[in-house]
Structure 1
Amino acid sequence: MKNGSTLFLRLAVILLGLPVLALCIFLVPNIGDFAAELYPEMEFIKYLVIVFFYVTAIPFYYALYQAFKLLNFIDQNLAFSELSVHALKTIKLSAVTLGTLYIFGMPLFYLVAERDDAPGIILIGMIIIAASIVVAVFAAVLQKLLQQAINYKKENELTV
């Protein structure tokens, strides 16, 4: 398969990663400072917020890396291989990890939203959790379909 066939998807993966990188570099320290201003009696909250967002970026970028690897497998005609199944499994686990981290981080969102009187902050956390669940389910379905296709391919090779 030509490398250009997945070029658009590679570009989409990169374009998904760039805004999150920009947010991590420029906005996360400001969010930490904002949380510290809201709760001056809790000095550690600034670092808690910063660490939370940086830790949640790890499974996000790992899933993007696995998606990039999956696109490489497609370009190398290895789409129907165990490597692709493993990449989809890793994407699923990364999405579940991200969603779980945000579920455990929701009290932090609640603290900031309560003091700032901004319920939209909680909504943002809920959207990230929902998106993670959707990605995990989609990756699980694709993983199962791909595994079935590989099994059918193996059966056909044995019967011929």
Structure 2
Amino acid sequence: MKRGSTLFLKTAVVLMGVPVLLLCIFLVPEIANFAAELYPDHTYLKYLVFLVMYAAAIPYYIALYQAFKLLSYIDKNDAFSQISVEALMKIKYSAISISVIYVLGLPLFYLIAERDDAPGVILVGLGLIFAPLVIAVFAAVLQRLLQEAINMKLENDLTV
């Protein structure tokens, strides 16, 4: 396969990391300060916001790195290999861990929504939980399909 055939997708993967980095730099401190202003007696809420948001960014970047590696394997004609299956597995686990982090942080979203009287914040929190779950299911399906294709390929190689 041509080396540049996945260049667009690699660029998209890199560009997916930029908005999250900007959100982590500029928006997360604002949200944390807002939470601290809503509950001046509980200043630790500010640090919980930092913990939830930055902890979710780590598996996000791991998943992006694995997607970039997967595209590199496709460029090298190693798409149907065990390393591609492992990359998909890591993407799946990263997406699951993002969902788990936001499930654990959902009470924090509830506290902010309750004090600010903004029920939409809960919906945003639920979206942050279910979007990575959809990605995890998709990665699991791709992982299984790829593993079955590899097994078929190995079986055909042995019969020839």
Which residue in 2 is equivalent to 1:100? 100
Which residue in 1 is equivalent to 2:40? 40
Look up the equivalent residue of 2:89 and give its one-letter code: K
Q: CA deviation at 1:63?
A: 0.4
Q: TM-score, normalised by structure 1?
A: 0.98
Q: CA deviation at 1:69?
A: 0.4
Matched, 1:110 2:110: yes
Which residue in 2 is equivalent to 1:157? 157
Secondary structure of 1:40's counterpart equals coil
Q: Deviations over 1:45-80 (max 9, x none)?
A: 111111211111001110000000000000000000
Give the 5 Å matches for 1:120-159.
120-159=120-159
Look up the equivalent residue of 1:130 and give its one-letter code: F
Rounded Cα–Cα distance in structure 2 between residues aligned with 1:3 and 1:34? 47
Q: CA deviation at 1:26?
A: 0.6
Q: CA deviation at 1:15?
A: 1.8
Which residue in 2 is equivalent to 1:78? 78
Rounded Cα–Cα distance in structure 2 between residues aligned with 1:93 and 1:124? 22
Look up the equivalent residue of 1:78 and give its one-letter code: D
Rounded Cα–Cα distance in structure 1 between residues aligned with 2:24 and 2:44? 19
Q: CA deviation at 1:147?
A: 0.2
Look up the equivalent residue of 2:152 and give its one-letter code: Y
Rounded Cα–Cα distance in structure 2 between residues aligned with 1:151 and 1:73? 18
Look up the equivalent residue of 2:113 and give its one-letter code: A
Matched, 1:17 2:43: no
Look up the equivalent residue of 2:101 and give its one-letter code: L
Rounded Cα–Cα distance in structure 2 between residues aligned with 1:136 and 1:114? 30
Look up the equivalent residue of 1:138 and give its one-letter code: F
Which residue in 2 is equivalent to 1:60? 60
* Unaligned segments of structure 2, at least 5 residues: none
Rounded Cα–Cα distance in structure 2 between residues aligned with 1:49 and 1:108? 8
How many residues get paired?
160
Q: CA deviation at 1:16?
A: 1.2
Secondary structure of 1:79's counterpart equals coil
RMSD: 0.7
